[in-house]
Structure 1
Amino acid sequence: MSKTLKEIYEYDLIEDDGIDYTVDEWFNTIMEKTKDQLSVADVSRMLRQRICSRIAIKRAIEMLSDDPFIGEMFEGQLMFNLYKGKEKYLKLFYTQMGPVLEKAGLMAKCHQFGSDEEKEEYLSVISKFAQKIKEETT
């Protein structure tokens, strides 16, 4: 049985102080989830907020392996959020990212994007990501 993020990180939930904080509610919700229960929206937000980065990065790689264009609000959003992730932890997963980026690049060439600009932006992120990995691993 998988552990929840709360159990893995030994976090306490944020107590309700009577004020409506959407971020607090979201944090408490993800803390009760296992890694496999995290949605693309959860992972994207975790990467942006830099919360539980190791698990967010690992889950993002799994999701991108299945669908390199996955995103909450636009195609490729998860790839973009991962590229902007916490470098300290991202480095730990560079070897796993290589095949994901290669697959994404090949699939992007024949993928139907909403516009040429979206396609260029996506290919640019993949290229920058691959270059960053290459520089760090050579």
Structure 2
Amino acid sequence: MKIQDNYYFKKRREQDNSPLDEWYNTLINKDVNEIDVFDLCKMIRQNILIDLAVNKATEVLRTNPLEGDVYDGQLIKLLYSIDYKEIKEHTNSLQKILQKVKQTIEIDDFMCEEDYNEYMDLVDNFIVKLNRL
């Protein structure tokens, strides 16, 4: 079943061939299982269907905690940027993912030590954020 059927979204009228409108119209015509990492990142950035995006993102991150559309770790960084009210019900699953990251991700998974340190700092800050919920 398509997203527009599940969530009763209507197709947007494309104004001046807006890439955002084109993406949105493509998204709502997808089945939930067809949502990819590009869609997830854009959904979070555009604040569209956040609960669905967080659910799907946690599924993706269980398999690959470094997932991202443009760079490694982007999906976790975008999830971290979401207001705490929007992720509160996902606290347990996110905490499990972040703990797995701390146990399994190594410096060799990154291009350089700086990227590794930045990612691990983000994970630590995200854990602190979740513990405050």
CA RMSD of aligned residues (A): 1.3
Name the counterpart of 2:56: 59
Paired AA for residue 15 in structure 1: R
CA contact (8 A) 2:69 2:75 kept: yes
Identity of aligned residues (%): 26
What is the correspondence of 1:75-90 to structure 2 with a 5 Å cutoff? 75-90=72-87
Asked whether 1:24 is paired with 2:16, we answer: no
Runs of 4+ in structure 1 deviating by more than 4 angstroms, as ranges, are none
User: Of 97, 102, 107, which residue of structure 2 is paired with 1:105?
Assistant: 102
Q: Which moved more, 1:30-39 or 1:49-58?
A: 30-39
CA contact (8 A) 1:53 1:86 kept: no
Name the counterpart of 1:71: 68
Counterpart Cα distance in 2 of 1:66 and 1:112: 15
Query: What is the CA-CA distance between 1:87 and the residue it aligns to?
Result: 2.7
User: Of 36, 43, 65, which residue of structure 2 is paired with 1:39?
Assistant: 36
Instruction: Point out where structure 2 has 5 or more consecutive residues left out of the alignment.
Output: none
Q: TM (normalized to structure 1)?
A: 0.90
Q: Which moved more, 1:82-91 or 1:53-62?
A: 82-91
Name the counterpart of 2:8: 10
Counterpart Cα distance in 2 of 1:87 and 1:111: 31
Query: What is the CA-CA distance between 1:8 and the residue it aligns to?
Result: 1.9
Query: What is the CA-CA distance between 1:86 and the residue it aligns to?
Result: 3.7
Counterpart Cα distance in 1 of 2:108 and 2:88: 28
**What count of residue pairs does the alignment treat as equivalent?**
133
Name the counterpart of 2:119: 122
- Kindly tell me: are residues 5 and 111 of structure 1, through their superposed partners in 2, closer, same or farther at Cα, counting changes over 3 Å? farther
Q: TM (normalized to structure 2)?
A: 0.93
Counterpart Cα distance in 2 of 1:118 and 1:80: 13
Query: What is the CA-CA distance between 1:44 and the residue it aligns to?
Result: 0.6
Counterpart Cα distance in 2 of 1:111 and 1:103: 16
Query: What is the CA-CA distance between 1:112 and the residue it aligns to?
Result: 2.2
Query: What is the CA-CA distance between 1:13 and the residue it aligns to?
Result: 0.3
How far does the alpha carbon of each residue in 1:33-68 deviate from its partner, in whole angstroms, 9 at most, with x for none?
A: 122110101001101111000000000000000000
